[in-house]
Structure 1
Amino acid sequence: MRFSLNIFFPVFILASTTVMAEVELSAGSGISIIAVNGVEVESDSLIGNNISATLPNGINQILVNYSAEIESSGDLEIETTNPHIIVFKAEDSRLVLSAPEITRISDFNEFDKSQQWKLADGSGSSISYQSKPLIKEGFQLSRDYASELQRFNQSGDALSINSFAPINRPPVTLPINSVVSGVNISSLSNGSADNADSVNLPEKLLQYWYLKADAETRERFKVWISNK
């Protein structure tokens, strides 16, 4: 199920800052934020690019892609990477996610396969992160990012949401696929494995944001859900 940010998740966008979320993320040139913590971001922009988001303190998962102008046969063509999942930990900070300037298709393809993102705070200091591309095999005219990300987050991968602390719950990490690109994701979390305690993450997120919302927003939610 996909929900409008205008009703459920206004705090994720910098334009509506609140005290609940304290990490402000800005995306550099060519980067678009597709989803935040498992929830696809809907954009009011005609071109569909989201370049900023406000996140809760702690460990966060974002889904982003990068577009670059690549010269081919004397013409410039826009190439867009696979979406990349990025997981990082930050508190009370302003962060900028950027990518190297790419003009050659060989460099573009290499970027799409590796961890060449740069995540830095306001002082320019690098922030540790883990990332991997979300790849869909076969021919595709379009992609359902929400469904793909939901399947990924239920997979037990080290970068899936269930491998680190869900909102308002003790940290949980899974022993499966605990190493990505040679780096252990456990460095981002101090949790211990708890395979018996399954989490319905969409339900937890809905409960969390409903309880955090003001009375007017709750009423709009009730009206919206009654029409579905």
Structure 2
Amino acid sequence: MRSIIALLCFSLFSQYAIAASLHLPDRTETVFVNNKASHQQSKVVLDSTLPNGMQQIAFRYQARYRDNGSQNDFISDVIVLRFNASEQDYRLTLPPINSAASAKKFNLKPAITLTDSSGNKIAFTQDKLIKSGLQIGRDFVQEMAQYNASAAIAAVASSTVINPSLNPVSGATIASDHSSQVISPSADVIEVTAEDITQAEVMRMLDYWYQKANNQTQAEFKAKIN
């Protein structure tokens, strides 16, 4: 009897102990994970029961750096990541942001590394979720639904099995904007002025704090804008 109970306990423990997860760098926040809005940091629970274990995560990278004696906040564009996962831990690695130049470089072409629990590089597809106009109060579930209905490179079909051979990446990244324009490593760097960077960061910070506010504060903010 004790052996049966022990076996049942072991089976139950194994069922919950084995899971897929993604560890994120500090100051990284998800906005969407597998068809759901998300505001997780540090660790994301993945769903390995999805077709082919295909995961889709959208996140923003935040950093603070000193430039000319003043502190500056950086919030990246929303990055969409698609990869296959099994029941193990994965780790996302991002470069440090310590200057305006490194912030601009990351936004133009995010350098991302994805590894498994053994330290092996994992293939993934990377894109950006770009929205023009006001960034306050973005509905990421709706935006991602529209994104997935498009032919974007990191899209995941809701009712069909994704072919993992599409857009493979072997220890590298594929970056594009929402129109699925691929940016190759040899692509020319777009010059962005300091004023453009400042306003972009202001817009992202406004969106960040709007998402953190309660319903009353959000309503008051919208009223001021109108």
**Normalised TM-score (structure 1):** 0.58
Alpha-carbon distance between aligned partners in 1 of 2:78 and 2:43, rounded to the nearest angstrom: 16
Give 1:24 shift: 1.1
Out of 33, 37, 41, which is 1:36 matched to? 33
Aligned-residue offset at 1:181: 4.5
Alignment deviations for residues 97-148 of structure 1 (CA, whole Å, 9 cap, x no partner)? 1211111112112211224112112222211111112111234334222222
Decide which structure has greater helix share: 2
CA distance 1:110–1:119, shift in 2 (3 Å): same
Size of the alignment, in residue pairs?
Answer: 157
The secondary structure found in structure 1 opposite 2:95 is: coil
Give the counterpart of 2:61 among 63, 66, 74: 66
- Classify the secondary structure of the residue corresponding to 1:124: coil
More strand by percentage = 1
Distance 2:105 2:47 in 1: 32
Aligned to 1:76: 71
Tell me if the contact between 1:38 and 1:161 (Cα under 8 Å) persists in the aligned partners: no
Cα distance, 1:63 vs. partner? 0.5
Q: CA deviation at 1:85?
A: 0.1
Q: Map of 1:114-153 to 2, 5 A cutoff? A: 114-153=109-148
Per-residue deviation, residues 193-218 of structure 1 (Å, max 9, x unmatched): xxxxxxxxxxxxxxxxxxxxxxxxxx
> How far apart are the structure 1 equivalents of 2:54 and 2:18?
12
Aligned counterparts of 2:79 and 2:182: Cα–Cα separation in 1: 13
What one-letter code is carried by the residue in structure 1 that aligns with 2:103? F
Q: What SS is found at the alignment partner of 1:138?
A: coil
CA contact (8 A) 1:33 1:51 kept: no
The alpha carbon displacement at 1:68 in A equals 0.8
Overall identity of the aligned pairs, in %: 21
- Report Cα offsets for 1:3-37 as digits up to 9, x if no partner: xxxxxxxxxxxxxx965983211111121122111
**Structure 1 unaligned regions, length at least 5:** 1-16, 44-48, 183-228
Decide which moves more: 141-150 or 88-97.
141-150
How far residue 95 of structure 1 moved from its aligned partner, in angstroms, is 0.5
Aligned residue for 1:136, secondary structure, equals: coil
Give the Cα separation in 1 of the matches to 2:15 and 2:154.
27
Where structure 2 has 5 or more consecutive residues not aligned to the other structure, the ranges are: 1-13, 167-178, 185-226
Q: Distance in 2 between matches of 1:113 and 1:155?
A: 22
Q: How has the CA–CA distance of structure 1 residues 21 and 161 changed in structure 2, closer, same or farther, with 3 Å as cutoff?
A: farther
Counterpart contact for 1:26–1:53, Cα < 8 Å: yes
Equivalences for 1:91-110 in 2 at 5 Å? 91-110=86-105
Inter-partner Cα distance in structure 2 for 1:150 and 1:20? 32
Match in the other structure for 1:56: 47
Counterparts of 2:146 and 2:112, CA distance in 1: 24
Superposition TM-score, scaled by structure 2 size? 0.59
Deviations 1:158-207 (A, max 9, x none): 21111xxx57x54469x9x999546xxxxxxxxxxxxxxxxxxxxxxxxx
Two-structure CA RMSD over aligned residues (Å): 3.3
Q: For residues 93 and 180 of structure 1, do their structure 2 counterparts lie closer, same or farther at Cα, with a shift above 3 Å needed?
A: farther
Distance 2:45 2:109 in 1: 26
